Structure 1
Amino acid sequence: MASIIRKETKQRMSRIVIHQGTVYLCGQVAADASKGIAEQTQTMLDKVAALLLEAGSNTEHMLSATLYIKDMKYFAEMNAIWDAWVPAGHAPARACVQASMARPELLVEISVVAAQI
């Protein structure tokens, strides 16, 4: 039976779960939810990159990403930050949906699955 590694585990969730070389990250949001969509997106992606490194992966090994955006009016601006962040030639499978957020000031959230290096 393969082991499951959980990091930064609390009652509700783990920030990182690793199973058979696959890394699952919990949803990540902005460092400062009072900022606009560009900064929220960038700081959210910075958190993803740091967690992937902690899990023995990186942005070149992302398999899938699901983005949740509060309003599609932010879609183009969010994508500009995303497109600059994703390493060329390493875009993951991706979905983006409009969704209600856990806190009204949050504009975007992401969930990522990646392979370990």
Structure 2
Amino acid sequence: MTIKRVLPGNRYSEAVIAGGFIFCAGMVPEHTGGDIVAQTKDVLAQLDTLLAECGTDKTAVVDTVIYLADMADYTGMNIAWDSWIAPGQAPARATVEARLANPAWRIEIKVTAYTRHP
């Protein structure tokens, strides 16, 4: 099996492609001043860019884990999520509350995508 590391760093790669899947690192907002909708849109835009770098797009996402610093942000996160996800292409998803590494981050999203999709 070939393993390809995308945008590797010292501690982690932004994505790893192996066995027909793309395993993306958890993505956090680059701009932390906004509300949960803005932070979610920021992360989803980064995911669009990373998936394109891996040769695919959001329609290939098969699994998602969303970490929220506060579950009170669930509805706002879903506003951004629902406008991003392609109709009929929703992946399996879990959303959990977690203490994130930076208190300014309200969200972190980790996705797994399939490399061979129509």
The aligned residue for residue 15 of structure 1 is 14
The aligned residue for residue 29 of structure 1 is 28
Say what the alpha-carbon RMSD is for the aligned residues. Answer: 0.8
CA offsets per residue over residues 34-83 of structure 1, 9 Å max, x none?
22111100010000111011101111110100000000111001101101
Which runs of 5 or more structure 1 residues have no equivalent in the other structure? none
Identity %: 34
- Aligned residue-pair number: 116
Which structure 1 residue ranges, 4+ long, deviate > 6 Å from structure 2?
Answer: none
CA offsets per residue over residues 81-113 of structure 1, 9 Å max, x none?
101100000000000000001000100000000
CA offsets per residue over residues 4-32 of structure 1, 9 Å max, x none?
00011112100010012210110001120
TM-score normalised over the length of structure 1: 0.96
The aligned residue for residue 53 of structure 2 is 54
Residue 31 of structure 1 aligns to a residue whose secondary structure is coil
The aligned residue for residue 115 of structure 2 is 116
